[in-house]
Amino acid sequence: MKASRFLIPTLREDPQDAQVASHRLMLRAGLVRKVGAGLYHLLPAGLRVIRKIENIVREEMNRSGAMEFQLPVLIPSELWEKSGRWNTMGKEMFRVQDRHEVWNVLGPTHEESFTDLMQQVLRSYRDLPVNVYQIHTKFRDEIRPRFGVIRSREFIMKDAYSFHADEASLDDTYQEMRRTYRRIFQRAGLETVPVEADSGAMGGSGSEEFMVPSEIGEEILLLSEKYRSNQEKTPVIYNESLEAGAETKRPKPPAIEDMESIDTPKIKTIEELAKFLKVDSAELLKSVLYRTEHGLVFIGIRGDRDINEVKLKNHLKCSELEPAADEDFKKIGSVTGSAGPFGLKNTDNLQILFDLSALTRPHWITGGNARDLHVKGFWLTDEQRKTAVDLALAVDGDPSPAGDGPLKAMRGIEVGHIFKLGKKYTEAFKMTVLDPDQKPITPIMGCYGVGINRTMATVIEQSHDEKGIVWPISVAPFEVCLVSITKTDEEKQAAQDVYDAFLKEGIDVLWDDRDLRPGVRFNDAELLGYPIRVTLGKFFFQEGQAELQIRKSGESSKIEAGKGYSGLIQEIQRIRKELFEELKADDS
Ligand code: ATP
Ligand code: MG
């Protein structure tokens, strides 16, 4: 490709609204342009990167024995009604009506579509297991699209779905996908950390996310030598005993007169209360009220702990969860900022729960359910003690569930996800195949996603410097950039000869033949991050030596071009091989 015929609209200045390095560099390097919130045009150089990532994913999926399909992005709502997700997906799903006023979904994911299709084509246990996938566009109306293509509203995903006769077969494919994902990310030059993830309230039995460690990550990972999980899933293990006060028989909850009243003028938060009373927040019992589709939920949790909403949602088996309003506090006979888990009115299906941290003390200071009032000496009943559950968010420094010391917190960006789905969809679609005794059985499913655009952006997050992108050779828009600094027509012709020779050898090259100052073209080459740069300057035209520079190391050398440029071509191929060698998957 000649740069003079190829459009790479680079920007000299940093774009205004790009907060993170990858977004900034993708805009500056002319890989993408913004169209609207969470919507990006892919320009030719950006699309070349996307295609290379897709091809790595495709090769590795095919190698694992999976089959590629392509299903419509537009999905009749009927399929989503069958699974029940028409009602539970909420506002993240784009819904469109066609001219016949029939509702359709712009697919955010394709469990329904693939289950529907597989139901039609799979007949017998002999057809199982299968793993089917596509690399295609997804739509999600994200609340907060941000960081460029890392969280956008339209993006490309590789989504795979496997179908099995039994758990053991599902586990085989799940393990195969783990290896496949490792290979994919290694080949793309992306360092990832696989962590255990939440598998939801619905039937899932195993889930792992592939995380790219990054300051800008929205996920928090908690890691030890033997334990790696997403914060949303990590159980909280207490150094303190959970037996405090267990021996005091308390069949009944305390009434207000059983406790000592404390005036707490204008105190609203746990931090203010701890400061006012000159106690540690771990001596206070915090009250949190949520509204779900089933009604109100009141949770008592130690003052130094926060609720893990994923755990809470799973425990309640609810799909909607939001902080309750001031009116809700009123309704249950309490008040925002001074609520306590006793003497509450049972309206709106009120459920009172305690986090395990509420077992670490025999008595608590908590809200008095009246403005500016707290109470001292609150206790949990025996029943409340018995039914306390882990609803707290684990944090840096908490004991590792594997028993190997404290957990370390780290931020990460999720690029891939593998998940044992169970029978949720096959049951909803009444999908069966015949077993060896000709009896119908319901297949078990797994699903496996990789975000293609997000992978592109995270590669840049991990691999850039002050000059621009430093592409791993496997996903670079071009492997080689040829810059020619010519003055005469003969020199121009000689550069053309070199370019032709490169093409003949199948070198993936962009020839920057533009009529621009060398400095401008060098800057562009560094911004675009081509792994190998070949410069044809004075030395070449006079003495037959080309300059060869490696973007990653900055190393530069003069190479004797040789007859028919064979010396130069050989050296390029040697470096290319070396750079690919670094990206070789470790089980190949
Ligand atoms: P997140 O928690 O980041 O919203 P998710 O759990 O919704 O991700 P999945 O449904 O598991 O994501 O989708 C599989 C993959 O698709 C993710 O691992 C990610 O790489 C990619 N992905 C998901 N949402 C987006 C998005 N809005 N923009 C770009 N890529 C996305
Ligand atoms: Mg999401």
User: What is the DSSP secondary-structure string of 400-459?
Assistant: PTTSSSB-EEEEEEEEEEEEEEETHHHHHTT--EE-TTS-EEPPEEEEEEEEHHHHHHHH
Amino acid 249: pLDDT: 79
Supply the residue whose CA is at minimum distance from atom 27 of ligand 1: 151
Closest by CA to 217, choosing from 415, 392, 472, is: 415
Mean predicted confidence (pLDDT) in 443-469: 98
Q: Whose CA is closest to atom 19 on ligand 1?
A: 451
Ligand nearest to the CA of 211: 1
Q: Whose CA is nearest to atom 11 of ligand 1?
A: 417
Task: Dump pLDDT digits (tens) for 112-163.
Answer: 999 999 999 999 999 999 999 999 999 999 999 999 999 999 999 999 999 9
Q: How far apart are CA 407 and CA 439, in angstroms?
A: 48
The answer on pLDDT for 588 being more than 80 is no
pLDDT number for residue 333: 97
Indicate the top mutation candidate among 417, 420, 421 to test ligand 1's pocket, ranked by most ligand atoms within 8 A of CB: 417
Within 6 A (CB) of ligand 1 lie 109, 140, 142, 151-152, 155, 157, 414-417, 449, 451, 453-454
Mutational pocket test of ligand 1: of 454, 456, 459, 461, the residue with most ligand atoms within 8 Å of the beta carbon: 454
Ligand lying nearest the CA atom of residue 212: 1
Instruction: Enter the tokens of residue 140.
Output: 């999600």
Determine the distance separating the centroid of ligand 2 and the alpha carbon of 176, expressed in angstroms.
24
Ligand 1 atom with the smallest distance to the CA of 450 is 15
**CA-closest residue to ligand 1 atom 29:** 151
List Cβ neighbours of 271 (8 Å cut-off, separation of 6 or more).
281
What's residue 417's pLDDT?
Answer: 97
Among 184, 414, 450, which is best to mutate for testing ligand 1, by the most ligand atoms less than 8 A from CB?
414
pLDDT computed for residue 201 by the predictor: 64
Question: How far does residue 451's CA lie from ligand 1's centre (Å)?
Answer: 6
Ligand nearest to the CA of 109: 1
Tell the CATH topology of 256-387: YbaK protein (3.90.960)
CATH number, domain 478-581: 3.40.50.800
State the closest ligand 1 atom to the C-alpha of 109, by its place in the atom list counted from 1: 10
Distance from the CA of 323 to the center of ligand 2, in angstroms?
Answer: 20
Q: Which CATH number among 3.30.930.10, 3.40.50.720, 3.40.630.30, 3.40.50.970 corresponds to the domain 15-235+408-461? A: 3.30.930.10
In SS3 terms, 326-389 reads as HHHHHHCCCCCCCCCCCCCCCCCCCEEEEEHHHHCCCCEEEECCCCCEEEEEECCCHHHHHCCE
Which residue's alpha carbon is nearest to atom 8 within ligand 1? 414
Strands 228-230, 219-223: pairing is antiparallel
Query: In whole angstroms, what is the distance from residue 175 CA to residue 163 CA?
Result: 14
Tokens 């329904």 belong to 112
pLDDT at 536 over 60: yes
Amino acid 17: pLDDT: 85
pLDDT for 90 beyond 90: no
From the list 529, 555, 524, 583, the residue with the least C-alpha distance to 22 is 529
Q: What's the CA gap between 263 and 368, in Å, rounded? A: 10
What's the 179 CA to ligand 2 centre distance in angstroms? 24
**Ligand approaching nearest to the C-alpha of 156:** 1
Instruction: Please say if the pLDDT value at position 202 is more than 80.
Output: no
The Cα–Cα gap between 377 and 259 comes to 5
Distance 314 CA to ligand 2 centre (A): 17
Residues above pLDDT 70, as percent of the chain: 99
Comparison of pLDDT for 587 and 170, the residue scoring more: 170
Among the bound ligands, the one closest to the CA of 154: 1
* Domain(s) of CATH 3.40.50.800: residues in the chain: 478-581
Check pLDDT > 80 for residue 204. Answer: no
- Taking the CA of residue 150 as reference, the ligand 1 atom at the shortest distance is 29
Q: Does the pLDDT value for residue 247 go beyond 80?
A: no
Express each pLDDT in 349-403 by its tens digit: 999 999 999 999 999 999 999 999 999 999 999 999 999 999 999 999 999 999 9
Residue located via tokens 């999926």? 61
CA distance 588 to 184: 12
- Residue ranges of the chain that CATH labels 3.30.930.10: 15-235+408-461
**Across the beta sheet with 373-378, what order do the strands follow?**
260-263, 373-378, 364-367
Name the segment(s) of the chain with CATH classification 3.90.960.10. 256-387
- Tell me what pLDDT residue 320 has: 87
For residue 368, give both structure tokens: 């008095």
Question: pLDDT at position 586, please?
Answer: 84
CA of 150 to the centre of ligand 1 (A): 9
The answer, yes or no, to whether residue 193 has pLDDT greater than 70, is: yes
The number of residues in the chain equals 588
78-82, 205-209, 229-233, range with the lowest pLDDT = 205-209
pLDDT at 245: 78
% pLDDT > 90, the chain:
93
User: What band does 1 get if pLDDT is binned at 50, 70 and 90?
Assistant: very high
